[in-house]
Chains A and B, each alone.
Chain A
Amino acid sequence: MPAVGAIADGFDHTWRPRLDSLLAAGRGAGADLVEIFLERTDHIGVLAEQDTITSVSPAFGMGAGIRVFLGERDGFVSTNDLSDRGLLQALEQALGMLGLARTSTPTTGFEGLGALADFADAKAHWLDRCPSLAEATLKLLEGTARLAHHGRHLQARRASYSRDWQSVLVAASDGTFAQDVRLHQSLGLNVLAADGDHRAGLGRRYGTSGRPDDLRQWDADASAQDVCASVGSMLYADYVEAGQMPCVLANRFGGVIFHEACGHLLETTQVERGTTPFADKVGELIAHEAVTAIDEGLTDGAFGSLSMDDEGMAPQRTVLIENGVLKRFLSDRAGQRRTGHERTGSGRRQSHAFAAASRMRNTFIAAGPHSPDALIASVDKGLYCKSMGGGSVGPTGQFNFAVEEGYLIENGQLTKPVKGATLIGEAKEVMPRISMCANDLELAAGFCGSVSGSIFVTVGQPHIKVDSITVGGR
């Protein structure tokens, strides 16, 4: 059975003349650069609760985002109307924002679109190869059944599946002409355990890009075991004692600390706003020498990987920090125009309704020389953060994130589980305190919400040790 609501039609060759005309009109009106982003989307969300499928939610959509630059300023208009008239109205509205108007004078400064960079060709059958709804529902029910098998005191069991297919076409008056198809699938398992007054809730999410068979290969039993083991530990955990202490953060989703504490501050959007303390620090030591940090869009199957960014540029491996020294910022078109930092293939957006902005892709701290045990052994009294919840960073660089599963470290050993911890700090202060990196780098899928919407990203790190950080608790 094909996926419900599937609309595998992308954008065909007939779009070239339409886009040529719009871009010529925009340039003829006096714009420095005009960019058009077209998308079609096809989404399925499925939810299983206990042993029942309780929600199947297909959605499909289309739209365009038209951005016009004049100097460092830009106007952006999005629309669901992909007719010639709808697109033209959007273009004229964007031009009008910059005081420009379409004229009948001959076009200048636009040589026509270049050859199509077609990243979609090899992905034409991705949607057809995805699991059918029947397969998806059965797999989720297997997940909730395995939770029931492995868990104790489970009051609620949930498994969710999300499949996002997106066909995009990017055309710009600098000749950029590129199309791509993206496929992201994610699976979540969530449980709530309750025993008398003791309650613990916990979840895990697994996600990949560009792998239609992903759901079929998901090991529901192993995932359920993992979730149940964690929630079992946390059910009777005491609240963490608050204070300043050393922390060891586990690999995989532990990488949210770098994402929130530093990654966002290395996006040119933050340079533009004047909200990063690192704006003038390229070439300077901003972190401990143990820290090398990378953002890239290339890792096969990773949630944040891309064949091209949302401005039509191929992604790259960007070394942000090398041995503690700041090397580069993540930049997009607007970032390059406004800050001078060269584009890094990092222009990303949730959908056509957002203008692209410099955003992270797969972001991680590189592996170090130590074993994870060595990090824990080096702490007399501290906190081991095995699993993280979400986090955020504010306009002054203050970050925070929640610890979902934590354990005390006493005399170099993991002892009892603790809950309710929130880590807070400032990037400038915490980055020099990441003093040890282990040799077990792993990545984890996540979602990041910021100026250009919610996007698929990967965070990652090996086990790391932070010498001192504020742990909020009771």
Chain B
Amino acid sequence: MTNLPTPDQLGQDQPTPQQHPPEQAPATLNPEALSDRLQQLARSSGIQRWDLGASCSTDTSVQVDRGEAKQMKGAQRSAITVRVWNGDGLVGITSTSDLSDGGLARALAGARDASAFGNAEETPAFSPLATAPLANLEQPLHEPQPILTLLDTLKQAERDLLARHAAIGTVPYNGLAQRSSERLYLNSDGACRHQVLTTASIYLYARAEETGRKPRSAGAVRLGYGTADLDIAGCIEEAAERTIAHLDYAPIETGHYTCVFSPEAFLDLIGAFSSLFNARAVLDGVSLSQRDSLGSSLAVPFLSIRDNGLHPGNVGASAFDGEGTPTAPLDLVEGGVLRHFLHSEATARAFGVAPTGHAGLGAKVSVGADWFEIGATPGSNGGQQGLNRFNHAGPVVVIDSLSALHAGVKASQGSFSLPFDGWLVQNGVSRSIEAATVAGDIRAVLQAIVGFEGDAKITPDGLCPYVWVEGLSVTGEA
């Protein structure tokens, strides 16, 4: 047997047997040291141009089940992605979790080999904004709590939620997690981006069942920069309210209804169709938008959609994207008109504009939205005023949460057909819908928005009020 170090030796480096190459991942990223190592390795391999994205994180999380610890987890993760440009200017890429010198050398060699298959028709370049100033994000760093403290906190949260209603028998999906992480972007022209972050999250999904009735389930999630600033009471309250509100259910008749999307549901729907705003998808021919769609009407004249990763409500926002471009707000739709696309360096070059800070890092660079702000365009009438589902003349369907977006959304076609949880509200009375789907076309939805109800709410995916949409097809089991 190998002799293991005793507990009091843990702070010291241990000798590694000769037959095992050093494989130790650093606990943190040192930008200067990593840059020096890469520069040295690249030089010895004859690689002139490279860039790198790296991340490392330490996570702890707990789950509980009826007062007992169900699972406690810890994780140390590290990963890098290296791109190199070969003598013909073609790009290759390799990713690895091995941050040892051997791993870095192998990654560089792999990227160089892959560059032989680089796409000559569209070669990524360094972002011209990779050294531009970054926004100053207010992201307090929290010390991690001991895992047994997390466990006690979650046990208490579970107890509190179970105590909220006799029908709530279990909280089958729950978790309390905290993460300390670092991100890094470096390139051979001297760009160096580094971000350190701590985040925490709690989710509680309760299951309730009354005698002779079907089980019902609902939940809530909260994010924060540390477990100490998580709104756990709010999470319990919301999970309980939602679950209890689904206990009295009935099937709904199939038909066309005015639907009121919750902020979470509408943000999910817009997120699923975000290829509308994605220059990469436009260039690839898989977006509903075309190159010349900018300036055209996409929605009712009072709707605005903005991507704003820097919003203070976006917990864990990134200060820069995968290419080192600063994160920045971008108006996508203003007054119903499509104004801008989300860009990487390559798509921005193709459109003759500046990168917008929405890129990943790859041989073919992906583009994605950060965090949406949806609401009335300033200065517009904001649609129908005073909307209130409990004071509405006819029946309305409240869509609280959508499911199976991965399967039921055809982003390149515009159509969707999605199961949802929600309520039918008639004459001021709300009753949960047993099981139903909502179907439509996103372009029709955006043109059929009636107005907004209530104040915009901050969610993990963005900021949005309740959104009223006319004439959607709902399939029920009545």
Contacts and interface: CB of A to CB of B under 8 A. Distances in A.
Interface stretch (B154-162, B405-413, B447-455): B405-413
A398 B10 contact: no
Interface of A: 4-5, 7, 12, 14, 17-18, 20-22, 24-25, 46-47, 49, 52-63, 72-86, 88-90, 92-94, 96-99, 101-102, 104, 133, 137, 155-156, 192, 199-201, 239, 242-244, 272-275, 353, 355, 389-392, 394-398, 400-402, 419-422, 424-426, 470-474
Interface in B202-257: 205, 207, 214-217, 254
B195 interface: no
B89 interface: no
8 contacts: A62-B98, A78-B77, A86-B24, A88-B4, A155-B286, A192-B413, A402-B407, A424-B435
Interface of B: 1-7, 10, 13-14, 16-17, 19-20, 22-25, 65, 68-79, 92-99, 106-107, 109-111, 113-114, 116-119, 121-122, 147-148, 169-170, 172-173, 205, 207, 214-217, 254, 284-286, 362-364, 403-404, 406-408, 410, 412-415, 417-419, 435-440, 473, 475-477
Contacts of A155: 285-286
A471 B44 CA distance: 62
Given A242-B254, A390-B406, A396 B216 contact: yes
A54 B72 CA distance: 41
Contacts of B435: 398, 424-426, 470
B2 A21 contact: yes
Contacts of B408: 389, 400, 402, 422
Contacts of B403: 392, 394, 400
B76 A472 contact: no
B214 A426 contact: yes
A59 B95 contact: yes
Given A56-B92, A473-B473, A80 B97 contact: yes
Contact of B117 (A82, A133, A401): A133
A233 to B, nearest CB: 15
A194 to B, nearest CB: 8
B73 A77 contact: yes
A74 B76 contact: no
A420 B439 contact: yes
A56 B4 contact: no
B347 to A, nearest CB: 13
A179 B241 CA distance: 49
3 closest Cβ pairs, A-B complex: A472-B437, A5-B110, A242-B475
B13 A85 contact: yes
A14 B19 contact: yes
A272 B172 CA distance: 9
A418 B24 CA distance: 56
Nearest to A59: B95
Nearest to A391: B407
Contacts of B121: 52
Contacts of B71: 74-76, 355
Contacts of A17: 1-2
Given A24-B1, A60-B110, A92 B7 contact: yes
Contacts of A24: 1
Contacts of B116: 133
Contacts of B439: 239, 242, 420, 422, 472-474
Contacts of A274: 169-170, 172, 207
Nearest to B97: A61
Contacts of A398: 419, 435
Contacts of B93: 56-58
A470 B2 contact: no
Contacts of A395: 172-173, 205, 207, 215, 217
A201 B98 contact: no
Given A54-B364, A390-B404, A199 B413 contact: yes
Given A55-B363, A84-B14, A242-B437, 17 more contacts: A54-B119, A61-B79, A74-B71, A75-B73, A76-B72, A83-B16, A88-B10, A104-B6, A133-B113, A156-B284, A156-B286, A355-B71, A397-B215, A425-B435, A470-B475, A473-B437, A474-B473
